[in-house]
Amino acid sequence: MKITIIDFNNDEEDLKKIYSKFVKRIEFFSSVNFIILKEKKEVNIDKKKHLETLEIIKNIPKNSKVFLFTINSRQPDSIEFSKTVTNEANITLIIGGSNGVDEQKLEQEITNLEKISFSKLTFPHKIFKLLVLEQIYRAFCIQKNIKYHK
């Protein structure tokens, strides 16, 4: 299995040690690849989202099930999420830029796109990225009956 996480900006120096801890744990089950994109310096928010979405689309690996984290979507619990992400050979998880993504463009271009949400709350990107890594690790532990998920 191969996991790709597409994210914006890479200024999480304070959390890199914790990210590494979870990546190391996940790599027992799957490879993890980060694609870090730069946010566009565009004043018009719709244009910015569109340009960033085009960058995302260019970077999605072929033959990958694509998941977009977006606030107004299905909210799986950890067990549902574990079934969703461990059931595919290759997955790509998209954490959009600070203004989100052009969801309509993504839906047009990515036929196997699935939208999910972890919460109706808004999180800072660096904390959400940590949450995603932790939930991926938890997903594998659930599927492999490893004592972690309680």
Q: Work out the mean pLDDT of the chain and round it to a whole number.
A: 93
93 is in an annotated binding site: no
- Residue 66 maps to a domain: yes
- Residue 85 maps to a domain: yes
How far is CA 128 from each of CA 44, 45, 52, 61, rounded to the nearest angstrom? 25, 22, 19, 22
Bridge partners, residue 67, by sequence = 93, 114
* Sign, CA torsion 106/107/108/110: positive
Give the pLDDT confidence of 10-22 residue by residue, as tens digits: 677 888 899 999 9
- Average pLDDT (93-121) is 95
Q: Is the pLDDT of residue 149 over 70?
A: no
- Residue 148 maps to a domain: no
- Residue 139 maps to a domain: yes
Q: Which domain holds residue 68?
A: 2-143
Contacts of 66 (CB under 8 A, 6+ apart): 60, 91, 92, 94, 110, 112, 113, 114
pLDDT at 14: 86
Domain count, the chain: 1
- Average pLDDT (93-107) is 95
96 is in an annotated binding site: yes
Q: Where are the beta strands (DSSP E) in 20-144?
A: 31-37, 65-74, 90-94, 113-116
- Average pLDDT (91-114) is 95
100 is in an annotated binding site: no
* Residue type, position 116, single letter: I
- Residue 149 maps to a domain: no
- Residue 150 maps to a domain: no
pLDDT at 150: 66
CATH number at residue 27: 3.40.1280.10
122 is in an annotated binding site: yes
78 is in an annotated binding site: no
pLDDT at 13: 82
